[in-house]
Chain A
Amino acid sequence: MHELSMAQGIINAVLETAEANNATEVNEVTVEVGRLAMINPEQLEFILGVLIENTIMEDAKIVFEEIPAEIECNDCKFHGEAILDDSDHYAPLVKCPECDSLSVETLNGKDIVVKNIVIEKPDDA
């Protein structure tokens, strides 16, 4: 539901890096979306499409990579990828795959990270 502010953050990060590298155009943007971030990639893509109009990333292809949920179980101390039970939820329950416990610390999978961009720039830049 807060895709607008996330999209603005993504665009700022992309344009800052693009400008620092003298880009004339951004061709591709890869964004890592944690499986547990309360973000719907489809909505994020939609709002990004609106906000990048009239910028040098206007025609960029946006690639989303899903980052799995990494947990440590408070009960059995399992460390690794969680089972995500999303049978009833878009936002999934996070479970330990070893002992089924829901008492887990999430170590990774909540973030939105702009990973890299593909840019065009003049030869002499």
Chain B
Amino acid sequence: MHQVADVEVAKNIMDANKRLADKNLKNLEEKDIFCVDFVGAIGSGKTTLIEEIIDNTDYKIGVLAGDVISKFDAGRIEKHDVPVVGLNTGKECHLDAHLVGHGLEDLPLDDLDMVIIENVGNLICPVDFELGSHLRIVVVSVTEGDDTVEKHPIIFQTSDVVVINKVDLADAVGADADKMVADAKKLNPNVNVIKSSLKQGSGLDEIIKVIEEAMN
């Protein structure tokens, strides 16, 4: 004979990631390390921005470079003589706190004062996964179309800084960079929005300044 029973499970599937994110943050704070997490569209300039920050500041930086299956980003960053760990998500569209936790184990944390995490290029999935960073910066560029911000509201609502990159190409691709700024401000009135052209060297100082303000 069988009986039927109603059993409470009450298990939050997101909790496991949150707990690990908290652990990552605690681990970093114990070592006095500031952590910035870059999310953004594919090809928006995340890796370039990280390279520029490494080359134009004196921080001792370590990088966790997320990629779906390749090692290209990690390889690019390695050339700047900083410790870098490539994190491959395989089939997944986002980094999670578990992968970041293992990545941190492979960085020489005692020698660092900043960890930069580069997420997989995606404006949707990373929203659900805190990683344990102090600051989240979302990077998009005008070449993805000037409706990119309004089409992906939640990542702009939940990030601390918005970078609109490649503004020098706006006219060539028929995009209105100021519309993207206005859309981001509408979605997240308190967010810092910075227009940049990293290849032309504009906007970088402002981005570094915002990171430094968050550190203090």
Q: Is B3 a contact of A116 with CB atoms below 8 Å?
A: no
Interface residues of A, Cβ cutoff 8 Å to B: 1-2, 4-6, 9-10, 13-14, 17-18, 21, 23-24, 27, 36-39, 74, 88-89, 91-94, 101-103, 110-123
Assembly CA distance A21 to B91 (angstroms) = 33
Centre residue among A17, A38, A111, A118 by max chain B CB count within 10 A: A38
Contact among A27, A92, A112 with B14 in the assembled complex (CB-CB below 8 Å): A112
Contact A1 B14, CB 8 Å, known A13-B9, A120-B3: no
Main secondary structure on B side of the interface with A: mixed
Contacts of A18 in B (CB 8 A): 7
In the complex, which residues of chain A have a beta carbon less than 8 angstroms from the beta carbon of B172? Answer: none
Q: How far is the CB of A99 from chain B (nearest CB, A)?
A: 12
Residue ID in chain B nearest A20 by CB atoms: B7
A100 CA / B18 CA spacing, docked (Å):
29
* CB atoms of A9 and B1 under 8 A apart: no
B3:A17 contact, CB within 8 angstroms? no
Minimum-distance CB pairs A-B, first 9: A13-B11, A9-B13, A112-B13, A114-B9, A123-B1, A120-B2, A114-B11, A17-B9, A113-B12
Residues of A within 8 A of B153 (CB): 89, 91-93
State A113–B11 Cα separation when bound (angstroms).
5
B149-181 contact mask (Cβ, 8 Å, vs A): 1 or 0: 011111001000000000000000000000000
Closest to B6 in A: A118
Whether the pair A122, B154 counts as a contact (CB closer than 8 A) is no
* With contact pairs A119-B4, A119-B7 given, residues A1 and B93 touching in the complex (Cβ less than 8 Å): yes
B189 located at the interface, meaning its Cβ lies under 8 Å from any Cβ of chain A in the complex: yes
Nearest-neighbor residue (CB-CB) of A104 within chain B: B157
